[in-house]
Amino acid sequence: MAQTQSDLKEATTVPATEVGAAATAAAAAEGNNPSAIFPSYARYPIHLVKGKGSWLWDDKGNRYLDFMSGLAVANLGHAPEKVTAKVKAQLDELWHVSNLFHIPQQETAARKLTEISCADVVFFCNSGAEANEAAIKLARRYHQKIKGTNRYEIITFEQSFHGRTLATLTATGQQKVKDGYLPLPEGFKTVPLHDIPALKAAIGPQTAAVMLEMVQAEGGVYPVDPSFVQELVALCKEQGLLLIIDEVQTGMGRTGKWFAHQHYGIEPDIFTSAKGIASGLPAGAMLAKEYLRDAFSPGSHASTFGGNPIVASAIIATLETMQEEGIPEHVQEMGDYLVGLLKETFKDQPFVQEVRGKGLLIGIGCAGPVGDIVLLGQKHGLLFVTAGPDVIRLLPNLKVSKEEIDQAVSILAEVVAAYTSKEGN
Ligand SMILES: Cc1ncc(COP(=O)(O)O)c(C=O)c1O
């Protein structure tokens, strides 16, 4: 039976209960008006208003130890001094001019990124999805304009996550992000990770590139096997395919090297970065080898805001702080310490099945759903996230101290114990 106008009204007001407690609370506070924001996020019922270092405060004055860093973004902690000072100074000078002009801060940021990596050229944009979109476009244009072939297809891996634009959600190896968005763009194939025969079978005369995360982060915190990576690199070389590494979450020191592929001793043709690159200002970058430079000729790709003076200053200050303070080395040390402490703390806890990850991107594989553990953690003053239904993901800032790690693990042990005793797990 067709819905009447009043049925439809009913239907649009009822799901208020499904869009998260914060939306419902906000609606109540507003005299039952629903929020003016699309309900595309299930938001936690906490209103954070201030941050410093590893700590956040809500509007009621409660303090939280932040082990999620705005999803791997606030990598130098909240309100990092040098970045704040540099951005404030730039705000007084010049905000935006457009990429029709040379932007010295952007040149410096790009130069610095090439100095810490194998890349020679950089394109700046505003997010991880945009950086991956740029990588996909660059791969196609390289084959079509430089090599004169008709290669366009990108092969990606199951459980990967590459973003939410139409191209990057098609590249993503998880069905849930594609739901309701048909038809998807052509030119993508997904194969199981660590399956060389499946990868070989997927490669055809139309294949342009393979795209990979070195640690599948959103997909459950699974580091990729080094032997698979070596075989993949050899295969790409043999077949004339470009290798794109998505370092949106793993890059900028998160895993204990500037970029995670550096653990594997490989040099991708293209890689992407975003999240922590500007310490919390919206920025992304697509980085590539010299031989890809001319695939993007003037007018072939653009971004209005990409690399503007404000975000470029934040990128420079982020990189300078990380270099001066030896952040990648600190991440390796703290990552080892955190993993060791987690393994020791949970060795007799059957609910915790595995502790895995690289540097300060850590997944705790559990025997059941962990959503309620996240909520319990919040009640005990610790913020962290999931990576899929059964995985607790820890993403402390990259300057985190041993004392803060001790405190976080002690709260986590407490909430896991409380949860499992309640559930009878
Ligand atoms: C590996 C990876 N790629 C791409 C993205 C998309 O980044 P953004 O949300 O900035 O578009 C994410 C975001 O979580 C990510 O983890």
Which of 249, 286, 393 maximizes ligand 1 atoms within 8 Å of its Cβ, making it the mutation to test the pocket?
Answer: 249
Q: What are the phi and psi torsion angles at 272 (to 5°)? A: -125, 155
Give 132-162 pLDDT, tens digit per residue.
999 999 999 999 999 999 999 999 999 999 9
**Residues whose beta carbon lies within 6 Å of some atom of ligand 1:** 127-129, 132, 161-163, 213, 217-218, 246, 248-249, 274
Residue 341 scores a pLDDT above 60: yes
Ligand 1 centroid–CA 129 distance in Å is 6
Mean per-residue pLDDT over the chain, rounded: 93
Ligand 1 centroid–CA 404 distance in Å is 27
Per-residue pLDDT, 10: 31
Read off the DSSP letter of residue 279: B
> What is the pTM assigned to this prediction?
0.93
Q: 188 and 163 in contact (C-beta within 8 Å)?
A: no
Give 367-405 pLDDT, tens digit per residue.
999 999 999 999 999 999 999 999 999 999 999 999 999
Give 255-264 pLDDT, tens digit per residue.
999 999 999 9
Coil vs helix vs strand at 134: helix
Residue 191 scores a pLDDT above 80: yes
Average pLDDT over residues 77-90: 98
Relative to the CA of 247, which ligand 1 atom is closest?
1
Residue 31 scores a pLDDT above 90: no
Torsion over CA of 273, 277, 283 and 289, rounded to 10 degrees?
Answer: -40
Per-residue pLDDT, 21: 53
Per-residue pLDDT, 22: 52
Average pLDDT over residues 188-198: 98
d(C-alpha 372, C-alpha 17), whole Å = 18
Identify the CA nearest to 72 among candidates 226, 224, 213.
213
Average pLDDT over residues 282-297: 98
Average pLDDT over residues 330-346: 98
For 329-364, letters b (16+ CB in 10 Å) and e give ebbbebbeebbebbeebbeeeebbeebbbbbbbbbb
What's the first-to-final CA gap in the chain, in angstroms?
45
Give 39-69 pLDDT, tens digit per residue.
999 999 999 999 999 999 999 999 999 999 9
Ligand 1 centroid–CA 362 distance in Å is 17
